[in-house]
Amino acid sequence: MQRKTLVLAFLVILISGCGPSIEAVSEQTKLSMQEKLNSDENLKKYDLQVRSVTAIHESGNKYKGMADVEGNGESHQVTIDIIADGKNIFWEAKPMAFAFVLRLKPKLPETAPIAPAQDKSIIWSVQVASLSSESTALQMMDYLKRAGYVVYRTQTDNKNRIFVGPISERGEADRIRQQLDRDHQLKGFVVRYLPQPATITE
């Protein structure tokens, strides 16, 4: 924000038609100031908070006000003029009343967290069964291939492990796992694809 005279003014419409109390003037001015600080293009980036406003009646419908404004954890006193006629409240900050913001650090804009990049070297599979019977394993593989899946099996420790894959994206592997559960009642789980000499694709 450039170093220039800063004057803030705002009009508040009161609900009551009778003369407002000191407490009402103070509270309405506080709410109005906070609304203004939250919307003003030059000031909203400092995340200023109006902690309180103390109004003192001068004469007629004129009041002097002292606002306690907090910024970056520090309290600053801002002098304002207030006019309240029973229907409206008009307040105005003195020139350079908010000059203290020039010493404050603007609030950094919130940014969405960046998702970690996926390691493209990792390939995935969905393991759907581990069977001791080779004939049963071959039947399951045939069933899955007829359903449109790419399948393979490994043989280790007298077990025939049936996999759907390989799959390049983890998200796609999770989707296929859910589809196998939903459409074929096969409770599989996602594993890393590890090619090995014992891999058999039929």
Contact 45, 30 (CB under 8 A): no
DSSP 8-state secondary structure symbol assigned to residue 178: H
Summarize pLDDT for 63-86 with one digit per residue, the tens: 999 999 998 889 999 999 999 877
Mean model confidence pLDDT for the chain = 81
Q: How far, in Å, CA of 92 to CA of 80, rounded? A: 5
Q: How far, in Å, CA of 34 to CA of 44, rounded? A: 10
Domain 124-200 has CATH 3.30.70.1070: yes
pLDDT-wise least confident of 3-12, 53-62, 102-111, 137-146:
3-12
Contact 30, 50 (CB under 8 A): yes
Q: How far, in Å, CA of 199 to CA of 167, rounded? A: 16
Domain locations in the chain as residue ranges: 9-103, 124-200
The pTM score is 0.48
pLDDT-wise least confident of 4-8, 67-71, 173-177:
4-8
Summarize pLDDT for 101-129 with one digit per residue, the tens: 888 888 766 555 555 555 566 889 999 98
95 prior amide bond cis, ω within 30: no
Pick the CATH number of 9-103 from 3.10.450, 3.40.30, 3.40.50, 1.10.287: 3.10.450
Query: How much of the chain, in percent, has pLDDT values that exceed 90?
Result: 26
pLDDT number for residue 120: 60
